[in-house]
Amino acid sequence: MINNKVVLAGLLTLGSAGVAAAQPDQAPAPGTLVVHLNGQFQFQIGLTNPLVTTGSTGTKTGSLTDFGFFRLYPGFDATTKNGLQYGVASEIRDTSAAANGAGVNSNSTSTNGTVNLYVRRAYAYVGTSEYGYIRFGQTDGAFGLLQDGVIGDFGDGQQWNSDGGLASYIPGGSPAHFIYADTGKLYTTSKIVYLSPSFDNFNFAVSYEPNSNGLNEGASDTSAETSIPGSNADRRINTFDGMIQYTGHFDGVGIKTSGGELIGSPLGNTTTTVYRKQLEVTQFGTTVDIGALTLGANIKYGQTNHDYEVLQPGQRKGLDYIVGATYRIHHLVFGGSIFEDWAAASHSATTHTVGQTYSSIGAALGATYEVNKNLAVFISYLYGQEHDHGSASVGPEGNSHQNAIGIGSALKW
């Protein structure tokens, strides 16, 4: 039995509050337990290109809007008297809600403008710095934890990998991609992950996901996939991913480079004869630190469609790359990135429509001023374009463009 010494900790990093990172840099003292309830609140005012809806209603969205999100990161870290570290980490978010059409939300029965809380991540860990750590629960796998070269620590911190950031509020949607491995399609599933210690500047991670259920979603019925609540033909089983990473320093230059593979089997769909291919994605990435300058590049290629969906026969493989950079001047950080995506378009084995390749570009620019460790103000700009010939959802002749700019503040504790 450990002699618990419970401490309320307001430790904070200007990122994801450590939810997707490795274990704490400094473990609690032997025989102690540290409880933390970190959090984040972000608010923005954004200007986007308005969306015009044709037809009998002829509506048009406003180009100026305000938005934001609220998140909590409860958990604890502990160390036994013999040095074994363990703990729990989680991420709780607020849901989005429909706009109140007339701006009226004055009674308890109205749901317009109100939100609920839900669990996005929830996992436990156990291990030591000498032998590595095992994670188990709803968490990021090896493919996301050791992803290098995806630069995003500027502006609202989300760029085109957005869940409540500027990209979420662009009318008509945003360019599709699978360049970000830290996406909900991968980290909201329950899995087991092993994170190794460092061996001569090398470390690795492996993870196994039995099925694409969350932590509390019951068993996977492989014989009747459509009976699972929320299921679809893109569900997967037996997903494995592994990454190896090298960290080094040479004459003031720091480098992190990593590569690995993610594979998974499609669960299928008993209501259709359309065959799904196996999910297979390879990635390589590098981050270089030269003084105040950080450079990054990452490339992903494989048998997948946007957001790590599986392919049908006749659909092309996907290829995504991203390059980015940040530069820090004291408390001010400037940054930018651009990604390109080529993936399967509207062509499928059943519809045989003319579109074979969907292509998109997403560029992001931004700056963040850190007032102190708990408060930052920022500005973000996004530009996107899409092309999918034969798909009416992407606009006239399959072309679409997006522009948005937002200013806001992030408060973290």
C-alpha pair distances (Å), 66 with each of 27, 168, 268, 342, 371: 40, 12, 41, 32, 22
pLDDT at 170: 84
Residue 398 has pLDDT above 50, yes or no: yes
Cα–chain center distance at 224: 30
More confident residue, 151 or 272: 151
Q: pLDDT: is 247 or 62 the higher one?
A: 247
CATH of domain 6-96+117-412: 2.40.160.10
Residue 228 phi, psi (nearest 5): -80, 130
3-state class of 411 per DSSP?
Answer: strand
For 58-74, how does the pLDDT look when each residue is reduced to its tens digit (9 = 90+)? 455 667 888 899 999 99
b (16+ CB within 10 A) / e for 92-118: bbbeeeeeeeeeeeeeeeeeeeeeeee
Is residue 247 within a helix (H) or strand (E), and if so which, with residue range? strand 236-250
- Please tell me the predicted confidence (pLDDT) of residue 337: 97
Q: How many CB atoms sit inside 10 A of residue 337's CB?
A: 25
Check: CB of residue 348 under 8 Å from CB of residue 315. yes
**Amino acid letter for position 39:** G
Global pTM reads 0.86
pLDDT digit string (tens) for 135-177? 999 999 999 999 999 998 999 999 999 888 999 888 777 899 9
Residues in the chain: 413
Instruction: Please state, in angstroms and rounded to a whole number, the distance separating the CA atoms of residues 323 and 336.
Output: 9
> How does pLDDT run across 71-127, given as a tens digit for each residue?
999 999 999 999 999 999 999 999 876 665 544 444 444 555 567 899 999 999 999
Say how far apart CA 99 and CA 114 lie, in whole Å.
9
SS3 per-residue string spanning 312-345: CCCCCCEEEEEEEEEEEECCEEEEEEEEEEEEEC
Per-residue confidence (pLDDT) for residue 261, from 0 to 100:
98
Where does residue 343 rank: exposed (0-12), middle (13-18), buried (19+ CB within 10 A)? buried
Q: What is the pLDDT of residues 232-245, one digit of tens each?
A: 666 788 999 999 99
Return the domain boundaries, the chain. Answer: 6-96+117-412
Distance in angstroms (rounded) separating the CA atoms of residues 37 and 353: 51
What residues contact 186, with CB distance under 8 A and at least 6 apart?
A: 140, 141, 143, 144, 262, 308
Contact 138, 215 (CB under 8 A): yes
Query: Over 70: is that where the pLDDT of 57 sits?
Result: no
Q: What's at 142, amino acid-wise?
A: A
Q: How confident is the model at residue 391 (pLDDT cuts 50, 70, 90)?
A: low
Token pair 């996901």 is found at 209
Pairing state between β 190-195 and 132-138 = antiparallel
